[in-house]
Amino acid sequence: MYAHWAVGDMGEDDQWGDVTAEPRGLDYTEVSAGGVPAMWLAPHGADPDRVIVALHGGGFVGGSLYTHRKMYGHLAKAAGVRVLLATYRHVPQFRYPAQIEDAVAAYRWAVAHTRRVALAGDSCGGGLAVQVALREPGAASLLLLSPWIDMDPAQTATSYEENAATDVFFTRPMVQALIEQYLPEEVSGLAPEVNAFHADLSALPPVYVQCGGDESGRGDSERLARLTGARLDVFDGQLHTFQMAAGRAPVADEAIGRLAAWVRPTLGL
């Protein structure tokens, strides 16, 4: 199933992670997590029995262990727990459900190797994290950074218009094109197995959502918070996954600190 993958061969867009400062005091170890390429981000002295499984963003078309290892390394260090950063197969070569299958496989592997697990994800990785939690009950909590959840091709969120002047990249047509690549023609973007807004969210663990006030995708974060009662922090003046500037921008460091302080009690720390 994963024979096409070599764990170290996914660095084509590594420079994306250059916006993040290198965290210190961590060890990085690449592993195969149930057949899925993954990387342990282990702060020195971290509790081995608590883990955050993180799923990176990239619109299902990009992103890797290497683009996101530093941002999630900052989270690991701030929280004092290991992070298992996992990747997944990309479109257009692999379409839904490959990405969810990979995320579930990595999560199950982590559960088998530790005592308590939280889930984290940014952008489409945030949507994957929610889908994993729906399929695999038992996660301690969900940490979501600008999660992209709505796979409705219509993309009706008003935040596209409200933030059109500040977010010129994530336009409605651009997101619609990503959905078209991700979902096979026979799969509806309203189906609960791909769109958590149409699923029963009552069994989700505690959820913490962060987003930028100026991003076009803010509507997904606000909608999820309304549906689940999640804690929602909207950072004024910030764009999609602004936490990638951790170690270089005070607002990103503040956001990472809030995530770390919130997740520790859910992991029993």
Amino acid at the residue 242? F
Q: What is the pLDDT of residues 150-179, one digit of tens each?
A: 999 999 999 999 999 999 999 999 999 999
Predicted pLDDT at 17: 84
Give residue 185's pLDDT.
96
Query: Model confidence over 83-104: pLDDT tens digits?
Result: 999 999 999 999 999 999 999 9
Instruction: Report H helices in 9-97.
Output: 65-79
Asked whether the predicted pLDDT for residue 3 surpasses 60, the reply is no
Strands (E), 123-194: 142-145
14-266 topology per CATH = Rossmann fold (3.40.50)
Contact 217, 170 (CB under 8 A): yes
In one-letter notation, the amino acid at residue 214 is D
Over the stretch 225-259, which tens digit does the pLDDT of each residue have?
999 999 999 999 999 999 999 999 999 999 999 99
**SS3 assignment, position 41:** strand
What percent of the chain lies above the pLDDT cut of 90?
93
Q: Do 33 and 2 touch, CB atoms closer than 8 A?
A: no
Q: Is residue 80 within 8 Å of 74, Cβ to Cβ?
A: no
DSSP for the chain reads --TT--TT---TTGGGGGGSPPPSSEEEEEEEETTEEEEEEEETT-EEEEEEEEE--STTTS--HHHHHHHHHHHHHHHTEEEEEE--PPTTTS-TTHHHHHHHHHHHHHHHT-SEEEEEEETHHHHHHHHHHHHSTT-S-EEEES------TT---THHHHTTTT--SS-HHHHHHHHHHHS-TTS-TT-TTT-GGGS--TT---EEEEEETT-TTHHHHHHHHHHH--EEEEETT--TTGGGGTTT-HHHHHHHHHHHHHHHHHTT-
Given a cut of 70, whether residue 8 has pLDDT beyond it is no
Q: Which pLDDT score, from 0 to 100, does residue 14 have?
A: 62
SS3 category, 122: strand
List the chain domain ranges. 14-266
Res 16: pLDDT? 81
pTM to 2 decimals?
0.95
